[in-house]
């Protein structure tokens, strides 16, 4: 059973439509491909209390947490502090990061504001990779990724190389029926096999060529196939348009 | 002061990349235009406990809650139950909805599964509008909107006609500098005027033509203008590229 994941997209800019979030959608795709189930995505402002509570919510449901944003050196970058608070750990300077900053500044002393870039919750580690200009920061199972989409993507991909899941198999039945006509069969099937995930998605777009799409999903293909057979036996025959 | 809003995007299909959510982004844009501050967007699965906890999180921070999805008649439609549970109210059949269903089915008795479409938390009301084929469902300040994007948009727009906010004014300074070089000025400004929202957004794309974008936002234009003047006085002059 793969660990579950949850995501926090942190930043006022996303909630105020100044920036359209791309990282949430990317993370959803990447985790799906990797077979790591995602239990929630929360977009929250640059506010320590909101982030701490979102972490509490997420950590009750997921082992792996991915955050996006809020790890720069300005007043609105509070993710490190919030993660430290949620884990009840102090914020420290990571020696490797201090060393990189000193190297970057050469003879000039590193300004206090730049030194904030070396801050991390105590016990954090860095994850490097050939694609990365800046290493990714992780504290236990919390990955603190940057909000800038190019950096987020590169760091996420590097982090995911070290995490393993079980990709799910999905099959789909397209139907010409009202959802309520399918509900008795779907109810009974979902109750009989709660681990096989059954979804029912209506469309009201006549161009779609169907009225309801039923999805069946599980990591074990044979259980998906068995459920598809059951549904095809029990659903109104005339309503079934096609199976994929 | 406008009421704050929070959003719940409900559905396994969104978290498993079967459907890319469009409703969250639309809601962010619409609330922004209406001047209603949005404090969080949570994407959660079709699970009663996850939705109830997300409602608890959201209601601590916002008065208005918008949900998307999970209000159909199948086993994976649990939003009504979750909202009722969060509000500690029973689920009842709304008489107006029962009447519509009876009218739609004519001589045929309404099947039990279709009758689920008339369920709502006790005390709910319907919001109708000229653009709406189906009325929107609201319970106190919780608006239970459908996940299907066309229906979501139409119902959201109708609901928003009855809600009023104060659109914010935003101005932007584009800079050629590292964020840490701006941090002392931004820190002091944010501390002096905590109600004026200052954001700092770096880009690493050389084609952007700037390195950091600083945004200043408030509902009162004069306070935004005063903050922009302060920043232009205090930020390194050579770094300022342009102001919008």
Specify the CATH number for the domain of residue A127. 3.40.980.10
Closest CA of chain A from B148, distance in Å: 7
Shared domain for A10 and A122, answered yes or no, is yes
Shared domain for B103 and B150, answered yes or no, is yes
- Judge whether B28 and B73 are in contact, CB under 8 Å: no
What pLDDT, in 10s, does the model give residues B113-145? 899 999 999 999 999 998 888 899 999 999 999
What percent of chain A is predicted at pLDDT more than 90?
77
* Mean pLDDT of all residues in B22-37: 95
Whether residues B75 and A186 touch (CB distance < 8 A) is answered with yes
Question: How many domains is chain B partitioned into structurally?
Answer: 2
Shared domain for B195 and B115, answered yes or no, is no
pLDDT at A180 over 90: no
Shared domain for A177 and A237, answered yes or no, is yes
| DSSP-H helix ranges across chain B | 12-15, 23-34, 48-61, 79-87, 95-105, 112-115, 149-160, 179-192, 221-234
CA A80 to chain centre: 19
pLDDT at B1 over 60: no
In DSSP terms, A42 is beta-bridged to A8, B42
In chain A, beta strands by DSSP E: 5-10, 38-44, 64-68, 91-93, 119-121, 124-127, 136-139, 142-145, 169-175, 197-202, 212-218, 240-243
* Mean pLDDT of all residues in A101-128: 93
Shared domain for A91 and A210, answered yes or no, is no
Shared domain for B198 and B222, answered yes or no, is yes
Looking at residue A19, what is its pLDDT?
Answer: 87
Q: Which residues of A touch B25 (CB under 8 A)?
A: 20-21
Q: Could you tell me if B244 lies within 8 Å of chain A, comparing CB atoms?
A: no
For residue B216, give every residue at least 6 positions away whose Cβ sits within 8 Å of its Cβ, in sequence order, or none: B170, B171, B172, B173, B196, B197, B198, B224, B227, B228, B231
Domain boundary among B132, B160, B188: B160
Shared domain for A144 and A205, answered yes or no, is no
Q: Could you tell me if A208 lies within 8 Å of chain B, comparing CB atoms?
A: no
Shared domain for B129 and B178, answered yes or no, is no
Looking at residue B180, what is its pLDDT?
Answer: 87
Closest CA of chain B from A204, distance in Å: 8
Restricting to A residues 56-85, those with a Cβ less than 8 Å away from any Cβ of B are 57, 60-61, 72-76
Structural domain for A15, as ranges: 5-160
Cα B76 from Cα B238, distance rounded (Å): 58
Whether residues B148 and A182 touch (CB distance < 8 A) is answered with no
Q: Which residues of B touch A151 (CB under 8 A)?
A: 204
Domain harbouring B238, CATH code: 3.30.70.2860
Whether residues A60 and B76 touch (CB distance < 8 A) is answered with no
User: Nearest Cβ partner of A148 from B25, B200, B202?
Assistant: B202
Q: Pick the more confident residue, A95 or A204.
A: A95
pLDDT band at A115 (very low <50, low <70, confident <90, very high): very high
CA A208 to chain centre: 29
pLDDT band at B18 (very low <50, low <70, confident <90, very high): confident
Whether residues B203 and A113 touch (CB distance < 8 A) is answered with no
CA dihedral (A69, A72, A76, A77) positive or negative: positive
Residue A179, SS3? helix
Whether residues A29 and B17 touch (CB distance < 8 A) is answered with yes
* Mean pLDDT of all residues in A183-198: 91
Axis-axis angle for helices A221-234, A179-192 (nearest 10): 140
Shared domain for A79 and A194, answered yes or no, is no
- DSSP sequence for chain A: -PPPEEEEEE-HHHHTTSS---HHHHHHHHHHHHT--EEEEEEE-S-HHHHHHHHHHHHHH-SEEEEES--SSSTT--HHHHHHHHHT--EEE-HHHHHHHHHHHTTSPPPHHHHGGGEEETTEEEE--TT-SSPEEEETTEEEE-SSHHHHHHHHHHHHTT----PPEEEEEEE-S-HHHHHHHHHHHHHH-TTSEEEEEE---GGGS-SEEEEEEESSHHHHHHHHHHHHHHS-GGGEEEE-
Total residue length of chain A: 244
What percent of chain B is predicted at pLDDT more than 90?
77
What pLDDT, in 10s, does the model give residues B175-191? 999 888 898 899 999 99
pLDDT at B81 over 70: yes
User: Nearest Cβ partner of B199 from A13, A24, A61?
Assistant: A13
Cα B195 from Cα B197, distance rounded (Å): 6
Q: Could you tell me if A100 lies within 8 Å of chain B, comparing CB atoms?
A: no
Domain boundary among A101, A135, A160: A160
Shared domain for A140 and A30, answered yes or no, is yes
This prediction's pTM? 0.90
Cα B196 from Cα B218, distance rounded (Å): 5
In DSSP terms, B217 is beta-bridged to B170, B197
Whether residues B38 and A16 touch (CB distance < 8 A) is answered with yes
For residue B215, give every residue at least 6 positions away whose Cβ sits within 8 Å of its Cβ, in sequence order, or none: A13, A18, B170, B171, B172, B197, B198, B199, B201
Domain boundary among B117, B140, B160: B160
Shared domain for A135 and A214, answered yes or no, is no
Shared domain for B50 and B135, answered yes or no, is yes
Whether residues A113 and B197 touch (CB distance < 8 A) is answered with no
């Amino acid at each position: 059973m793969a660990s579950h994941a949850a995501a926090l997209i942190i930043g006022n800019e996303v909630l105020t439509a100044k920036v359209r979030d791309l990282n949430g959608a990317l993370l959803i795709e990447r985790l799906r491909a990797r077979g790591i189930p995602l239990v929630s995505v929360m977009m929250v402002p640059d506010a320590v209390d909101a982030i701490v509570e979102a972490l509490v919510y997420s950590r009750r449901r997921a082992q792996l947490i991915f955050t996006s944003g809020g790890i720069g050196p300005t007043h609105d970058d509070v993710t490190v502090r919030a993660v430290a608070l949620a884990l009840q750990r102090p914020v420290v300077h990571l020696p490797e990061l201090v060393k990189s900053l000193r190297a970057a500044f050469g003879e000039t002393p590193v300004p206090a504001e730049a030194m904030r870039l070396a801050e991390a919750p105590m016990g954090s580690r860095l994850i490097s990779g050939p694609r990365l200009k800046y290493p990714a920061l992780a504290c236990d199972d919390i990955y603190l990724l940057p909000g800038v989409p190019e950096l987020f993507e590169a760091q996420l991909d590097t982090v995911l190389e070290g995490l393993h899941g079980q990709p799910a198999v999905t099959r789909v039945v397209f139907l010409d029926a009202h959802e309520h006509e399918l509900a008795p069969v779907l109810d009974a099937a979902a109750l009989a096999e709660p681990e096989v995930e059954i979804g029912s998605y209506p469309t009201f777009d006549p161009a779609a060529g169907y009225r309801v799409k039923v999805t069946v999903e599980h990591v074990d293909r044979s259980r998906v196939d068995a459920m598809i057979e059951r549904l095809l036996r029990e659903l109104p025959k005339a309503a079934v348009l096609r199976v994929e």
